Amino acid sequence: MKKMWKKLGLSAATLSLALGLAACGGGNNSSAPATGGDAKPADTAGKPAEAQPKGTIKLGGLFDITGGTGDVGAPYADGEKAYVEYINSKGGVNGYKIELIGEDYAYKIPEAQKLYTKFKSKDQVSAILGWGTGDTEALRQQVAADKLPFVSAAYSENLKNINESPYNFLAAATYSDQARTSIKWIKDNWKGSGNPKLALIYNDTPFGKSPIQDAKDYAAKIGVDVVDEQVVDLKALDATSQLLNLQKTNPDFAIIQQTWGATATVLKDAKKLGLKTQFIGLNWAAGEGLLPIAGDAAEGFIGVVTHAFPYEDLPGMAEVKEYLDSKGQKLEDKNQKFIQGWVTTKIMMEGIRAAGDNVTGEGIRKGLETINNLDLGGLAAPVSFSADNHAGTNQIRLAQVKNGKFEIITDYIGH
């Protein structure tokens, strides 16, 4: 009889523990690890319990595959998904499997808000990998209230404000820092007489307008004259009228804040009109995807490079190659935006690793804030966060199209 009660007592304790774990699954309002309900019991066939996955940490992914920035958004999302698959093949993070629940919101802010609610309430994610400037800024108050770390591809200067965006993290230089550094490079390399003349070309979205005032303020401060501004739609197939207006002011340089499609349109129409302006594109304007659509009009174009090209021989590229080899894919078939998505996800994983077993939103935020001079193997500038600074870096490189290929022309520089 004693033996029977002993067995029953053990079963009851085991059941109680299992129910307790299930009750903690996937939520972000609990101090217990977010398991998403996927925690598995120990294998009784002889494997030690510590060898089993602790559970699943769920991440939300806002992707633009089919919307206005899908030209760069699709390869970026592929890079995010690839890194999650890669890290899971290595045993996950601290014994947890990572699940990325990514969906295409087609660059529509209302759809991003709807998906965010789903990620938070239904999927019970612990953090989010975001995308666009408009939606990232629109969601930042909800993100703060829900205590969900949000690492985005939006590099808006507004996200630097730790009081307004306490759960947002910037994994690359802001658009404003990219513009400031480009303007400083213009000033430092100017050989003409008087101040260099600068034009600004951008689209009428929060992304497009994000760095414009900061660029004008910084240019005035260091002696670069902003002589013109032109608005070109993200999906524009013709920019002749805007460039005819720009031609009247005869700028020496023009900074472009666009993605590949509109940038190619600007470069092709500038070539047709015979403009001598040196065009410099911020990071989403640069990259290999620009070259086939711009053709020889891209020759001489300078781009801001926040992340490495796959053809660069860098230590961090070994992991990417290892993953691609395991999938029967080739590094040369990927582009810089794939690397950008890969690196951003790697940074998020480092925050999760530093969080240990406290993989709630608050725990992951604190984990990210411990990152100091994270070495990304040359795939991007090292990043650092702290409790009062979520801007990872202000460093960029510049690359120029020479003989149909982007070639790096600076080391990492700032302003």
Structural domains for the chain: 23-45+53-173+315-368 (3.40.50.2300), 175-305+397-408 (3.40.50.2300)
Longest dimension (CA), the chain: 101
% of the chain surpassing 70 pLDDT:
87
The verdict on pTM exceeding 0.95 is no
CA atoms within 13 A on the CB side of 280: 24
pLDDT attached to residue 54: 87
**What is the rounded average pLDDT for all residues in the chain?**
90
pLDDT (tens digit per residue) in 159-218:
999 999 999 999 999 999 999 999 999 999 999 999 999 999 999 999 999 999 999 999
Q: What is the pLDDT of residues 249-284, one digit of tens each?
A: 999 999 999 999 999 999 999 999 999 999 999 999
CA distances from 201 to 94, 154, 198, 261, 262 (A): 45, 18, 10, 14, 10
pLDDT tens readout for residues 138-174 = 999 999 999 999 999 999 999 999 999 999 999 999 9
pLDDT for 52 equals: 64
Residue whose C-alpha is closest to residue 352's, from 28, 83, 57: 57
Mean pLDDT of the 332-353 span: 98
User: Are the beta carbons of 34 and 77 closer than 8 angstroms?
Assistant: no
Q: In residues, how long is the chain? A: 415
Q: Residue 414, CB half-sphere, CA atoms under 13 Å: how many?
A: 9
Do residues 373 and 359 touch, judged by C-beta distance below 8 A? Answer: no
Is the Cα dihedral 31, 32, 36, 37 positive or negative? negative
Q: What pairs with residue 61 in β-bridges?
A: 102, 129
Residue for token pair 């093949």: 89
What's the Rg (C-alpha) of the chain?
Answer: 24
pLDDT for 29 equals 37
- Contact partners, residue 196, CB within 8 Å, separation at least 6: 186, 187, 190, 224, 225, 252, 253
Q: DSSP assignment of 209-262, as one string?
A: HTTHHHHHHHHHHHT-EEEEEEE--TT-S--HHHHHHHHHH--SEEEEES-HHH
Nearest to 395 by CA among 181, 158, 211: 181
Residues whose CB is less than 8 angstroms from the CB of residue 219 and which lie 6 or more positions away in sequence, other chains included: 183, 198, 225, 226
Instruction: Give the pLDDT band of residue 10 (cuts 50, 70, 90).
Output: very low
Q: How far, in Å, are 239, 268, 381 from residue 249 at the CA level?
A: 16, 19, 36
Q: What is the pLDDT of residue 16?
A: 40
Q: Which residues pair with 55 in a beta bridge?
A: 96
Look at residue 18 and tell me whether its pLDDT is greater than 50.
no
Q: Which residue has the higher pLDDT, 23 or 358?
A: 358
- Pairing relation of β-strands 127-129 and 150-152? parallel
Q: Cα–Cα distance between 36 and 56 in angstroms, integer?
A: 6
Indicate the burial class of 109 (C-beta count within 10 angstroms; 0-12, 13-18, 19 or more).
Answer: middle
The whole-number pLDDT of residue 316 equals: 98
Per-position DSSP letters for 300-366, written without gaps between them? T-EEEESB--TTS--TTHHHHHHHHHHTT--GGG--HHHHHHHHHHHHHHHHHHHHTT--SHHHHHH
Does 42 score more than 70 pLDDT? no
Q: Is the pLDDT of residue 73 over 80?
A: yes
